[in-house]
Amino acid sequence: MRLVLIGMNHKTAPLEIRERLQLSSGDDAHSLSELMRLPEIREALCLATCNRVEVLARVEDGGQAVEQLREFIYRQGNLEREELERCLYVYQDREAVRHLFRVAASLDSMIMGEPQILGQLKAAYRQAVDNRATAVLLNRLLHHAFRVAKRVRTETGIAGNAVSVSYAAVELAKKIFGNLKGKSILLIGAGEMSELAARHLIRQGVGSIRIANRTYARAEEMAVMFQGVPVPFERFPEVLPEVDIVIASTGAPGYVVTAEMVAAALKRRRNRLFFLIDIAVPRDIDPAAGEIENVYLYNIDHLQDVVDANKEMRRIEAMKAEGIVAEEVEIYEEWFNALAVVPTIVSLREKMEAIMQGELERSSSWLRNLEGEERSRIEIMTAAIVNKILHDPITVLKEESKDRDELPYVAAVRRLFKI
Identify which of residues 226 and 296 has a Cβ nearer to other proteins in the complex: 296
Shortest spacing between CB 301 and other proteins, in angstroms: 9
Q: Which stretch binds other proteins (CB under 8 A): 26-34, 169-177, 216-224, 276-284?
A: 169-177
| Separation CA 53–CA 107 (nearest Å) | 16
DSSP 1: -
For residues 312 and 334, which CB has a smaller minimum distance to other proteins in the complex?
A: 312
90 secondary structure, DSSP code:
E
Regarding 184 and contact with other proteins (CB under 8 A), the answer is no
Q: Which is nearer to other proteins, 28 or 244 (CB)?
A: 244
Q: Rounded distance, CA 141 to CA 99, Å?
A: 12
Should residue 151 be labelled a site residue for other proteins when binding is judged by CB under 8 A? no
Q: Tell whether residue 310 is a contact of other proteins (CB under 8 A).
A: yes
Indicate if the alpha-carbon torsion angle 150, 152, 155, 158 is positive or negative: negative
According to CB under 8 A, which one of 86, 126, 132, 175 is a site residue for other proteins?
175
The piece of 97-105, 232-240, 308-316, 353-361 that touches other proteins (CB under 8 A) is 308-316
Which is nearer to other proteins, 168 or 188 (by Cβ)? 168
Q: Closest distance between other proteins and the C-beta of residue 176, in Å? A: 5
Binding flag, residue 167, other proteins (CB under 8 A): no
- The torsion angles phi and psi of 317, rounded to 5 degrees, stand at -65, -30
Please, are residues 238 and 264 in contact by the beta-carbon 8 Å criterion? no
Regarding 242 and contact with other proteins (CB under 8 A), the answer is no
Catalytic residue among 1, 23, 50, 135: 50
Cα distances (angstroms) measured from residue 363 to each of 110, 170, 357, 372, 385? 72, 81, 10, 15, 17
Residue 273 is a binding residue for other proteins (CB under 8 A):
yes
Question: CA-to-CA distance for 290 and 304, rounded, in angstroms?
Answer: 17
- Torsion sign, CA atoms 163, 165, 166, 169: positive
* Stretch of 27-35, 96-104, 156-164, 335-343 lying at the interface with other proteins (CB under 8 A): 156-164
Contact with other proteins (CB under 8 A) among 71, 83, 238, 305: 305
25 CB-near residues (< 8 Å, 6+ apart): 31, 46, 48, 53, 76
> Minimum distance from CB of 316 to other proteins (Å)?
9
Residue from 62, 192, 253, 270 binding other proteins (CB under 8 A): 270
In the complex, the smallest distance separating the C-beta of residue 146 from other proteins, rounded to whole angstroms, is 19
- Which residue number, 12 or 204, has a Cβ lying nearer to other proteins? 204
Contact (Cβ atoms closer than 8 angstroms) between residue 262 and residue 276: yes
- DSSP string of 289-344? GGGSTTEEEEEHHHHHHHHHHHHHHHHHHHHHHHHHHHHHHHHHHHHHHHHHHHHH
Q: How far is the CB of 306 from other proteins (least distance, A)?
A: 3
Can you tell me the distance from the alpha carbon of 22 to that of 89, in angstroms, rounded to the nearest whole number? Answer: 17
State which residue, 108 or 317, has the beta carbon closest to other proteins. 317
Q: Which amino acid is at 273?
A: L
Element at 353 (helix H, strand E): helix 300-362
Q: Is position 91 an interface residue for other proteins (rule: CB under 8 A)? A: no
Query: Quick check: 234 binds other proteins (CB under 8 A)?
Result: no
* 50 classed as catalytic: yes
- Contacts of other proteins in 274-303 (CB under 8 A): 290, 293-294, 296, 298, 302
Nearest distance, CB of residue 243 and other proteins, angstroms: 15
Cα dist from 261 to 33, 251, 273, 400, whole Å: 66, 19, 15, 76
The correct pick among 19, 33, 151, 160 for binding other proteins (CB under 8 A) is 160
Crossing angle (nearest 10°) for helices 136-155 and 300-362: 140
What is the set of active-site residues? 50
Which residues of the chain form contacts with other proteins (CB under 8 A)? 154-155, 157, 160-161, 168, 172, 174-179, 270-273, 290, 293-294, 296, 298, 302, 305-307, 309-310, 313
